[in-house]
Amino acid sequence: MPNTKNLLGAEKSPYLLQHQNNPVWWHPWGAGAFERAAREDKPVFLSIGYSTCYWCHVMEHDSFEQQAVADVLNEHFVSIKVDREEHPDVDQIYMDVVVGIHGHGGWPMSVFLTPERKPFWGGTFFYRDAFIQILKGIAQTWRAERAKIESSTGELMRYLESKQERPGGGAVTKAVFMHALEQLLLRFDRTYGGFGPAPKFPPTQQLLLLMRAHAMQGDAASLEAINTTLSGMARGGLFDQVGGGFHRYSVDGQWLIPHFEKMLYDNALLAQAYLEAVQLTGSELYRMVARRTLDYMLEEMRDRGGAFQSAEDAGEVEREGEFYAWTPAQVRNVLGDEEGARICALFGVSDEGNFERGTSVMHIAGESRWREVLEPRCVASLTALQAARRSRTAPHRDTKVLAGWNGLAISACARGYQVLGDARYLDAAVAAASFVCSELWPESGLQRRYCDGSAGIAAVHEDYAYLIEGLLALFVATGDGVWLSRAIKLQDEQDRRLFSGEHRAYLSSASEGLIVQVCEWGDGATPSPNGISLLNLTLLAELSGEARFAQRALELESGIPGEATSHPVHYCSALRGVMLRRAPASVVVAVSPPGAGKPSPEVLTLWGRYLPFTAVVPGQDGAGSSGEVPVIFRGRVARGEKTAFYVCRGTSCLEPTVDVQGVEDVCSPRNVSDDVRL
């Protein structure tokens, strides 16, 4: 019989729906739950997780499905369940609380609040017996020693207020960039790559900064860190050698055994990192990984409307990774004895196994053997293994569409088209952008989540920043002014809803009921929204010719918190934004003769080069005569039968040229101003 006091059945979130039949009387996040807590004078138990979180599944099975736990929660607490992917603003605030208490955090997150939404204690995962004792102890303290609760609440609120980054505090000088580089190289694992011990998460933002540093100064140390890390991730179990795409993180220091969930944002960000590395180094390994990551996104993470879904699970409780692991017998059954033995040797599948139950996570067993993966014979074998793997029970997929994460995917696909030359990626970027703009952007404003046929939840800063970045990437890849117009419109909406003059930055959210205001400058699993906004505004100023964007970028840079000067390694996105503002040339308008095809071979040449501070935008002669088109195309013409390049910075442009090498020289990262050069 359904639990009529569990209020999650009408929700859209796959995570909340996973809990709709728990005996716990769950409420969704909202005023109703807190009003009930105040009315009944009960503390709030806030549980935060997401649908592809393995340990969230374990805690549900061990605690939330158990009547003994539900009885205590239902009697003494008002219980709220939150999908962190729907409400990242809520998650960030209470995660700060848990980290402040314990020094670390994670999901599922368990936090105890007053009816005023103020925290007084919290943690992460608890096993059932310990959890029941914690619940009973908190309930007793709430009834008999309320002063202790009030004291803890006051202390945690003061901590939260103190933790919010204050605007400004120090100029981003050359010394700050040097400090960031020193911090990264000091933490660099020279054996396996990455920047710290296990567990190891993909360090995309650090790598993007290091690539720029190496391009500017040509140092061997930065290049070693880039190559060791990218190669280590590509050859390890973190990369799905059979199906393509990346898992969430590595539980060991060698990138060997992953935590198996796959997130859209990780794959989009890693695809971009490998694409830039292709431009920087020309590596065929990186080219293969970028292509297979994008292919995974297109084949496994898109819905029928063309948008990208959020994530894939790690597996069933007590069967994590079973979908991905292999035994030698399983490989031989698919490929035959001879080819099976060869593939097992190449990918480290052994009788003893490197994972659970005698299975192995496939990885390239030998640093020098990765080229074998490019051979047609190996490609055919991996394709056969992937087909065989499809007969296994596939992990759960979170099908909701998130605006911001789709923005990251749009950027990755648009740039994949530029670097790899495959029009499928551009088509995917256009389809996803069209879906998000039509389904998640009504007149009332951008929405964060689309699921089960409807959109909802007001967008947060990361949605605006990442989607604007994706729309700008589409414009740069196509020259189609509709994407620039939408990016401008969305940036204006972001400014109206989220910019804070007091903080000189964008608030993470305009949602009501948040106990502190947060401006995100530091990078986490995803890049800092304010850092990405600094990049967006700088590029918008160049592409649109509107000075207001440059002025807002200047204001935003002045709001970078002082912590970025003392611990710059945590602010790589913001540092990239500062670099772009000080770069020598932001836009190259490439105008091809009519009928030459778009993009022209000359544009493709430049797209293949590593020019991280330059957007090469294709256009055709005659397309810029109308006032309807972007200003950067107006008055631009080809040179006879050749593509003409207009190298521009602000409203100033050099004389048009047909010399591709000359354009590359002018736009070289070596020309960055002295206050950025490392």
CA distance 13 to 357: 34
pLDDT above 90 (res 359): yes
Sorted by sequence, the CB contacts under 8 Å of residue 53 that are 6+ apart come out as 15, 107, 108, 261
Residues 649-678 pLDDT 10s: 876 788 999 999 999 999 999 887 566 554
CA distance 347 to 242: 10
DSSP 8-state symbol, 370: G
pLDDT above 80 (res 261): yes
The token pair that represents 233 in the structure block = 């991730």
pLDDT of the residue at 168: 75
Nearest of 175, 178, 184 to residue 204 by alpha carbon: 184
Helix (H, G, I), strand (E, B) or coil at 296: helix
pLDDT of the residue at 633: 87
CATH 3.20.20.10 assigned to 14-163: no
Nearest of 409, 446, 442 to residue 428 by alpha carbon: 409
pLDDT of the residue at 626: 44
pLDDT of the residue at 628: 61
The token pair that represents 236 in the structure block = 């390890």
CATH code, residues 174-315+398-581 = 1.50.10.10
Distance of alpha carbon 28 from the chain centroid = 25
Weakest-pLDDT range from 210-224, 555-569, 622-636, 643-657:
622-636
Residues 111-122 pLDDT 10s: 999 999 999 999
pLDDT of the residue at 434: 98
CA distance 517 to 503: 10
Domain boundaries, the chain: 14-163, 174-315+398-581, 328-392, 587-671
Sorted by sequence, the CB contacts under 8 Å of residue 41 that are 6+ apart come out as 115
Q: Which residues pair with 645 in a beta bridge?
A: 590, 657
pLDDT above 50 (res 627): no
pLDDT of the residue at 491: 98
Distances (CA, A) of 225 to 206, 602, 657: 10, 32, 37
547, containing H or E segment: helix 547-558
pLDDT above 90 (res 166): no
CB 489 within 8 A of CB 467: no
The residue with greater pLDDT, 21 or 637, is 21
HSE of 477 in the Cβ direction (CA atoms, 13 Å)? Answer: 27
- pLDDT band at residue 1 under the 50/70/90 scheme: very low
CA distance 550 to 556: 10
Distance of alpha carbon 328 from the chain centroid = 35
Helix (H, G, I), strand (E, B) or coil at 120: strand
pLDDT of the residue at 596: 67
Weakest-pLDDT range from 170-174, 299-303, 337-341, 451-455:
170-174
pLDDT above 60 (res 257): yes
* The total number of residues written for the chain in this structure: 678
Sorted by sequence, the CB contacts under 8 Å of residue 147 that are 6+ apart come out as none
* Bond prior to 119 in cis (omega within 30° of 0): no
CA distance 678 to 666: 19
Backbone angles phi, psi at 123, to 5 degrees: -165, -160
Weakest-pLDDT range from 82-86, 408-412, 474-478, 589-593:
589-593
pLDDT of the residue at 674: 64
pLDDT above 50 (res 625): no
Sorted by sequence, the CB contacts under 8 Å of residue 467 that are 6+ apart come out as 403, 404, 406, 407, 410, 436, 446, 490
Burial of 452 (0-12, 13-18, 19+ CB in 10 A): exposed
pLDDT above 90 (res 554): yes
Output the average pLDDT for the chain. 93
Q: What does the pLDDT average to over 577-602? A: 85
Q: What does the pLDDT average to over 351-362? A: 95
Burial of 40 (0-12, 13-18, 19+ CB in 10 A): exposed
> Following DSSP, what letter does each residue of 222-244 receive, concatenated?
HHHHHHHHHHHHHHSTTB-TTT-
pLDDT above 70 (res 368): yes
CA distance 397 to 288: 25
pLDDT of the residue at 677: 52
Weakest-pLDDT range from 64-68, 443-447, 574-578, 579-583:
579-583
* Rounded percentage of the chain residues whose pLDDT exceeds 70: 97
